[in-house]
């Protein structure tokens, strides 16, 4: 019985030569297959990621950091309602991220106590989740007009700032 006990526990590898070939095919061949696949995938010329026009993509990556934007200095300043619609309405109409809603006196009451200057500075420099509005597409005076429009709808009685008079040429 002891002679037949080990027959059921033997594996398919019976000689050292079979062990050598099994090791070779188990480890060496997969390594060469992986190397072959990597070579196949990387050999073709491909455009840069996300760029169909590689020259344009390269030009955008190496462009200068600063840019010059020319604006018409003599354009008429916009009214507060127009600036509000263009810049502020997205958040203040819906009350997003804690923004006081347009026309909601309860939302505006604690803010109006700070005064006109504090509200304008908050709009220009940013406060809480609201980003700074100064230095963007509108001049500071236009942002101030939008603040007056927004605050007056919430119960304030601020006067809309007028455009300063040009200094006389000497």
Looking up tokens 């950091």 gives 65
CATH homologous superfamily of domain 80-153?
Answer: Cytochrome c-like domain (1.10.760.10)
- Average pLDDT over the chain, rounded to whole? 80
pLDDT tens for each residue of 139-159: 888 888 888 888 888 887 787
- pLDDT (mean) for 83-100: 83
The DSSP code sequence of 37-48 is HHHHHHSS--PP
- Higher-pLDDT residue of 150 and 1 is 150
pLDDT in tens, 25-61: 899 889 999 999 999 888 877 665 666 777 887 888 8
Residues 132 and 151: their CA atoms lie apart, in Å, by 18
> Do 141 and 90 form a contact (C-beta atoms < 8 A)?
no
How far is Cα 154 from Cα 114, in angstroms, rounded to an integer? Answer: 14
pLDDT tops 80 at residue 122: yes
Q: How many residues does the chain have?
A: 170
Model pTM?
Answer: 0.56
Q: Provide the pLDDT for residue 137.
A: 77
How many helices (H) and strands (E) the chain has is answered by: 8, 0
pLDDT class of 69 with cuts at 50, 70, 90: confident
Mean pLDDT of 107-135: 82
DSSP state letters, 81-150: HHHIIIIIHHHHTTTGGGPPPTT-HHHHHHHHTT-HHHHHHHHHH-BTTBPP-TTSSS-HHHHHHHHHHH
Give the largest CA-CA distance in the chain.
124
Predicted confidence at residue 63, as pLDDT, reads: 84
Domain boundaries, the chain: 10-68, 80-153
- Per-residue pLDDT for 124 more than 60? yes
* Cβ 127 vs Cβ 119: under 8 Å: no
Q: How far is CA 160 from CA 130, 146, 148, in A?
A: 22, 9, 6
């Amino acid at each position: 019985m002891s002679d037949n006990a080990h027959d059921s526990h033997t594996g398919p590898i019976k000689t050292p030569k079979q062990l050598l070939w099994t090791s070779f095919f188990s480890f060496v061949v997969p390594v060469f297959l992986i190397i072959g696949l990597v070579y196949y995938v990387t050999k073709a010329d491909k455009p840069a990621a996300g760029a169909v026009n590689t020259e344009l993509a390269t030009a955008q990556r190496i462009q200068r950091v600063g840019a010059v934007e020319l604006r018409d200095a003599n354009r008429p300043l916009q009214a507060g309602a127009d600036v509000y619609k263009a810049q502020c309405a997205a958040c203040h109409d819906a009350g997003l991220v804690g923004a006081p809603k347009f026309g909601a006196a309860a939302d505006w009451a604690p803010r109006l106590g700070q005064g006109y200057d504090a509200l304008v500075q908050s709009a220009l420099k940013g406060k809480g989740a609201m980003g700074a509005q100064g230095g963007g597409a509108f001049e500071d005076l236009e942002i101030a007009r939008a603040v007056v429009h927004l605050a007056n709808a919430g119960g304030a009685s601020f006067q809309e700032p007028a455009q300063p008079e040009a200094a006389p040429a000497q």
